[in-house]
Amino acid sequence: MIEPKFISGPPGTGKTSTFITQKYIELLKQYTYDRIIILSHTNVAADEIRDEILKLPEVKEKGLTKKTFKYRICTIHRYCKSKLVGRKEKFGYQDHKNMCMIESLFKLQQVKESDFDNDKHMFYKYLSDAFGTGKTLKEYWKECDKSSYKPYSLNSIEEMLIHYKKYKHDNHVCDYDDMIRDFIDKAVEPDIDALIVDEAQDSNVPQRKALEKMSTKAKEYYLVGDADQTIFEFAGADADYYHKLSRNAEQLEQGHRCGKTINALCKRIIKPIWEYYGYERTWKSTEFVGNHYRLPNLENMCSAMEILLDKIRNTNETFLFTYRQTPSDSWVKKFLKDNGIEFAHVGNTAHVPKKELRCHKLWPDFCKGTPMPLKQIKDFWDYIGSKVIVFGKGEETFEDWVDREYTIDYLISKKFLKETATQERDFCLIRVQRGKKEDYEKRLLYIKKILQKGFDLEGDVRVEYANIHTVKGLTFDNVIVDESRFRKEDYFTQLRLKYVAYSRGKYDCWTISTQDKYRRRLGER
């Protein structure tokens, strides 16, 4: 079995965008594309790599397409799935969303509602974390942070597991862990020439075994990652293993993301870990300097807060609010809502979709007689309430119309709207109320704040939020890190989390915590 070559690089040094693409060009000169495999841990990361590869002239010349790389540039799980020949089961996964869908199953099986009602997704999270460490449920329970898996007890988890397994068997469904487990136990070693694994330090125990099996016949095997960004140790990632590999690794040194201030801050954060493992890494910043600001909280105005709000409102830069614990969600969202700022959770649509905001923005002009394209009119229809609609009772349907502009008078003449529709200049007054009245009223208040401050009708949402584990691998112009609610956990774990958090940013960063607390955490006087 070939030993892996570890390519080590701090955040923003081009591990994905530079090394992997350049290495792929080299490999393509020696091997055919179907014998080169590139794997990552998330679909987002895999898509990013594939998009970069597709831009290469060498790839275009061969006529390779997105479909070509379906199982050649993908997640580890997807690749394992593709090698399980003969399986008739419907392959899928059961994350927290799916677990909520089968809540009724557990109720039917008379599992106590108190055991799963609050955080149903924690059941699968516990199973997955335990599997990642290579330990049994009982072994993992003895050493895990039990507060991370509330409201469960080991007994309730074991009881639910019985029903969960039966559910998978009866419905021919596999989860992500099953894909890895079955690949290790049942799949034949793939006959490939080269294997590249991105963000390798995130690999847990079973995934490492799967990668070893994949590389059995490979001539070249590369692990690309950063031991200092190992933040999934609770799920089986092994920082010690990758730090050992780092000693003989090819080091990427030139940063392409972080400016001088963020670069220096990250080095200061991670320095105790470098000292522990007995080395110090070279990591050059970009030429941009940037600033580091401190906020006591998100509730009280201060000079640093004024700078942050001014940048959000008056630049086209992107902003990330990130944190360790999920309860910070509500704090961040309240701040953004109160200040009328468009935002989205990373990987999801905006809190209020652009489509809905456009409806509120354009409806007054539509009422005044301004013609609107058919697409915009259809968007109105997604939100308008029945008190002004006669939809379905008119002489025609939208399907009979050509894609051109129409006026509100035309809609009234065709009996799509009541004549009184033009009297309601506020879109809030005619749209369907969705959810609780108080939640609806708060949503409308937030929408009106956005409209008052102005917003980009077409551009992407520039402000996003998510916990540190979710944002790993992403890049933003500016980053705001909530250090005030970090868990009391392993010191090195805290340092790695902060290292990952701040290194998402290019220009400026803000620390939410008192200055004294911040200095104590970094060992400053």
CA distance 471 to 42: 11
Angle (CA) 137-143-147 rounded to 5° is 90
Q: What is the pLDDT of residue 524?
A: 41
CA torsion 92-93-99-101 (nearest 10°) is: -20
**Residues facing 350 on adjacent strands:** 344
The pTM (predicted TM-score) of the whole model is: 0.85
CATH of domain 272-348+461-521: 3.40.50.300
CB 467 within 8 A of CB 242: no
CA distance 98 to 313: 38
Question: Matching CATH topology for 5-85+180-256 and 272-348+461-521?
Answer: yes
What is the DSSP track for 2-13?
PPPEEEE--TTS
pLDDT digits (tens, 9 = 90+) for 130-167: 999 999 999 999 988 887 787 778 888 888 888 888 87
- At residue 191, the 3 state secondary structure works out as coil
pLDDT digits (tens, 9 = 90+) for 320-331: 999 987 777 888
Per-residue pLDDT of the chain in tens (525 residues, 90 and over written 9):
788 999 999 999 988 878 999 999 999 999 999 999 999 988 888 888 999 999 999 888 888 888 889 999 999 999 998 888 665 555 555 454 555 455 555 554 445 544 444 456 677 788 889 999 999 999 999 988 887 787 778 888 888 888 888 878 887 778 888 889 999 999 999 999 999 999 999 999 999 999 999 999 999 999 999 999 999 998 899 999 999 988 888 999 899 999 999 999 999 999 999 999 988 888 899 999 999 999 998 988 999 999 999 999 999 999 999 998 777 788 899 999 999 999 999 988 899 999 999 999 999 999 999 999 999 998 888 888 655 665 544 455 677 788 889 999 998 888 788 888 888 888 888 777 777 888 888 888 999 999 887 777 788 899 999 999 989 888 999 999 999 877 777 889 999 999 999 999 999 999 998 545 444 444 442
Q: What is the pLDDT of residue 522?
A: 45
Q: What is the pLDDT of residue 413?
A: 86
Going by C-beta distance under 8 Å and a sequence separation of 6 or more, which residues neighbour residue 296? 302, 512, 513, 514
Indicate the domain borders of the chain. 5-85+180-256, 94-174, 272-348+461-521, 354-453
Q: What is the pLDDT of residue 148?
A: 78
Distance of CA 122 to the CA centre of its chain: 18
**Residues facing 174 on adjacent strands:** 91
What's the Cα-to-Cα distance from 43 to each of 14, 76, 77, 192, 347, rounded to whole Å?
A: 19, 10, 10, 22, 11
Place of tokens 């994350």: 95
| Backbone conformation region of residue 341, classed left if phi is above 0, alpha if psi is from -120 to 50, else beta | beta
CATH class of 5-85+180-256: alpha beta
Q: What is the pLDDT of residue 101?
A: 53
CA distance 384 to 415: 15
What's the Cα-to-Cα distance from 110 to each of 98, 103, 440, rounded to whole Å?
A: 19, 11, 36
Q: What is the pLDDT of residue 91?
A: 54
| Residue 498 φ then ψ, to 5° | -65, -40
